[in-house]
Structure 1
Amino acid sequence: MARLAAALTLLFFATGLSPSRAEFPTLVASGFSVRGLERVRDYLRNEVATGKIPGAVLLIQRHGQRILLESFGVKDAESRRPMTDDSIFRLYSMSKPVTSVAAMMLVDDGKISLDDPLSKFIPVFAGTKVAVEKHDENGKVVLATEPAARPITILDLLRQTSGITYGFYGDNPVRQLYAKSNLFDGDVDNAELAERLAKLPLAEQPGTLWDYGHSTDVLGRVIEVVSGKSLYAFEKERLLDPLGMIDTAFRVDDSRRSRVAEPLPGDVPLSTVKGLGDPVQRRRWQSGGGGMVGTADDYARFAQMLLNGGQLDGRRYLKPETVSLMTSDLVPPESGIARDYYYFPSGDSGFGLGFAVRVVENPLLPTGEYRWDGAGGTFFFVDPKDDMFAVCMLASPSQRQRIQIELKKLIYQALEKQGP
């Protein structure tokens, strides 16, 4: 190892690469290429330099060792505050895996069953109808309703098959109805939002289509009913504080505002998506589907716990078999659950309980990888086969998909080289 470290030292001087001496043994043991990781860094540096993104924080971990934690660019293009490793980002839908884990902790406790009907916890959902499109006498498409063939279950909420949709993408009549229904009028909380959603028709029969929507928000309300606590209070007590996720919450207090990363001026506006605004603003709604903020380091603790099969630092959060279930494809073709244009996991992936799960292997990306992302640009993936994960934090809604694809390729190319 000493001879290899000396050889790497000469390489770094020759090439201009400059990882610290402490990085040598970690990189050698990790299987990552030093040059490959430098290409990862260069990619994000170039994205900043060319004005495509204001900044980013990238964290890669393998075999329980931190391979890379680096910040790029600035938090705010107007103030030019440098990005820092502890910058706070709006997580948007990266909140969903956290809420899903919290719910499965209650399943492990025996307080919830996946087969439980939603109406057991929120009775108003017992009367929810399903929307159907019909034509009136003039041939115009109108919405009618029909009874649900079966109740919405907790499983449906977790795998996005409840029929509860979103109103901010797509233009079919049900989504238009959601968009115009004033779901977020006033200072709503989880209880009020669930009541309002229950009065709207489902977009389709439960268990028939993967439909990305407010399912996880409603799941957050179920957690409140079962635990007798607010969603944040339950997650803070059982998950966030024990894991050391000190900056993960549903709002940012005034003392931490300077750490919040902001998108470029003129980027896709997301401040009103799903009723979410300034994370410093006090509001009652704790959106389990999209309302959290956090840091790369916080989310790394969460990802490592999952990669470890539900435990971290000697404390167990989920049973190993629970993590295995959550990260298995529960919407395969034989399930009869349909996929449409808005099947966001993509064609090479199924969906578990809060995560997309890769089921088709390609030369770079292995099967079994599970992941999710957020509308603001954040994303993460966990790769059990290679015993690694990565967390990338961006405040860049318009660039997120492109960067996620390219950056993941570069990370795996760095791993494939298996040396300097």
Structure 2
Amino acid sequence: MSALSKTRLARLHDALAAHVSPTGVPGIVALVSRRGETHVVTLGRQSLESDAPMQRDTIFRIASMTKPVTAAAAMILVEQCRLRLDEPVDDLLPELANRRVLKSLESSVDDTVPARRPVTPRDLLTFTFGLGALMVWPVKYPIQKAMAEVGLAPGPNLPSFPADEFMKRIGGLPLACQPGERWLYHTGAEVLGVLIARAAGQSLGAFMQDHLFGPLGMRDTGFQVPADRVGRLASSYMTDPKDKTKLAFFDDARDSRWSRPPVFEAGGGGLVSTVDDYLAFQHMLLNKGRHRGERILSRPSVELMMTDQLTPAQKQGTELFFGDSASWGLGGAVVTRRTHLWATPGRYGWDGGYGSSAHLDPAEDMAGILMTTRMMESPQPPRVFTDFWTSAYQAIDD
């Protein structure tokens, strides 16, 4: 019996094709893999300004799909005993030592109390170290305004200053919550990337290349697109703020920010990749840390990453991200309750705000990746995401 129905896979193509237009989603590459069978769909163009069609090896900015990769890199250092999950990070990140914490979210930034305990790598991996996105619009809290004023507000634009300056600015702010108290999105991954680099004694990108991208054969994944591959980089579009019926560039592939060396290698959202590169990473996790006979991570580390790490108290206020059927492991979301075709308990992964989604499902021995050129406009997945995952799972043929 086939793992995926060929007849039903045709629906995947048609469902995604319905989204492709110059004012909708200009281009898509989608991949579904189950039990050794892999199906790829390419639609549209790499850029509205060129005739180059989408290809299987088109390079995309994967935004927050970077987060599981950063978590895996951290776990490699944990296995080497160069990081310890529950020891303070103060020696490597002195900017986080002796933290002050807001008395409440409504407090002014100087209305603080001492942190009850130091920040640990576990706090960074689980996004509970005390700073991150407060999903309130328009901006309401003083700490939101303070983060924005120093260039630390989570958003589509990556930090424009070096890692040491990033940490200096983090250290100049109080924490919004006590370490370990509450899940706050994103910022923990950026700090974790700096921690990895300092613990490893090399750049984050170099460490990932040595321990993940090289061993996994992820040739097109990194924080910069080399000059000889820029022709395969797709452009990235957002809704035109002046005319909501049109698209505007977020990043033009002809003069991409990703074609130049990054000032800050962002562990929360800075990588570029292809569907096949990212599938190699997913397959390593599905294979409990092995890739073609080589051990990248131990089985216990992979299982730790893909296990719910949050208490009910830590999940307060996360409904916008998780609803009532998911939680957070290390670096990615974990499904905890079946509420949809694709919501298999134990499914792990995350979406990227530049228009991508990647999750793996151990129970189904399945992985899926969607990469598009249209940015997300809220934490809620756009229809092209839900149509992709619906179409992928309805094609299961057993």
The equivalent position to 1:390 in structure 2, one of 333, 357, 368, is: 368
User: Deviations for 1:366-385, whole angstroms, at most 9, x for unmatched residues?
Assistant: 11111101100111110100
Corresponding residue number in structure 1 for 2:115: 148
- Counterpart of 2:68 (choices 91, 94, 97) is 97
Q: Name which of 247, 253, 270 aligns with 2:220.
A: 247
- Aligned partner of 2:317 in structure 1 is 340
Amino acid aligned to 1:312: H
Q: Does 1:46 align with 2:15?
A: no
Question: Is 1:157 the equivalent of 2:130?
Answer: no
Give the aligned partner of residue 190 of structure 1. Answer: 163
Q: How does 1:5-404 map to 2 (within 5 A)?
A: 28-30=1-3, 32-49=4-21, 51-63=23-35, 65-133=36-104, 142-143=108-109, 144-166=111-133, 170=137, 171=139, 172-183=141-152, 188-264=161-237, 266=240, 267=247, 278-333=257-312, 336-340=313-317, 343-362=320-339, 364=341, 365-398=343-376, 401-404=382-385
Q: Distance in 2 between matches of 1:146 and 1:370?
A: 36
Distance 1:293 1:168, change over 3 A: farther
| Partner residue in 2 for 1:17 | none
Amino acid at match of 1:206: P
Residue 7 (structure 1) aligns with = none
In structure 2, the CA distance between the partners of 1:402 and 1:203, relative to structure 1 (3 Å rule), is farther
Moved more, 338-347 or 123-132: 338-347
CA–CA distance in structure 2, aligned partners of residues 167 and 282 of structure 1: 30
More helix by share: 1
Q: Distance in 1 between matches of 2:182 and 2:250?
A: 26
Contact 2:356 2:370 in 1 (8 A): yes
1:387 alignment partner AA: D
Name the TM-score, length of structure 1 as normaliser.
0.84
Pair 153,396 (structure 1): closer, same or farther in 2 beyond 3 Å: same
C-alpha distance in structure 2 between counterparts of 1:278 and 1:363, whole Å: 37
User: How far, CA to CA, are the matches of 1:339 and 1:175 in structure 2?
Assistant: 18
Is the CA contact (8 Å cut-off) linking 2:327 and 2:336 kept in structure 1? yes
- Structure 1 runs of 4+ aligned residues shifted over 6 Å read none
What residue is the counterpart of 1:11 in the other structure?
none
Match of 1:9 in 2: none
**Deviation of 1:51 (Å):** 4.3
Structure 1 window deviating more from structure 2 (315-324 vs 166-175): it is 166-175
1:344-372 residue CA offsets vs partner (Å, 9 max, x unmatched): 23321011001100001135231111110
Closer/same/farther in 2, CA of residues 398 and 225 from structure 1, 3 Å limit: closer
Q: Distance in 1 between matches of 2:335 and 2:65?
A: 17
Distance 1:270 1:263, change over 3 A: closer
Q: Structure 1 residues 105, 163: CA separation in 2 closer, same or farther (over 3 Å shift)?
A: same
Q: Distance in 2 between matches of 1:105 and 1:215?
A: 18
Letter in 2 for 1:406: D
Cα gap change, 1:398/1:284 in structure 2, threshold over 3 Å: closer, same or farther?
closer
Cα deviations by residue, 1:245-268 (Å, 9 ceiling, x for unpaired): 001010112221121112346347
CA distance in 2, matches of 1:202, 1:268: 35
Residue deviations 1:189-241, cap 9 Å, x none?
A: 22221222111111111111110031111111111111111111111011111
Deviation at residue 406 of structure 1 after TM alignment: 2.1
- Give the structure-2-normalised TM-score: 0.88
Please state whether the residue corresponding to 1:61 is helix, strand or coil. strand
For the 8 Å contact 2:151–2:159, the answer to whether it is kept is no
Residue identity (%): 34
| Unpaired runs of at least 5, structure 2 | 241-246
The answer to which of 344-353 and 391-400 deviates more is 391-400
Change (3 A) 1:329 1:268: farther
Partner Cα separation in structure 2 for residue 169 and residue 259 of structure 1:
37
Q: Distance in 2 between matches of 1:173 and 1:270?
A: 28
Q: Distance in 2 between matches of 1:246 and 1:297?
A: 10
CA positional deviation for 1:79: 1.5
RMSD (Å) for aligned C-alpha atoms:
2.4
d(CA) in 1 for partners of 2:297 and 2:371?
A: 25
Aligned length: 377
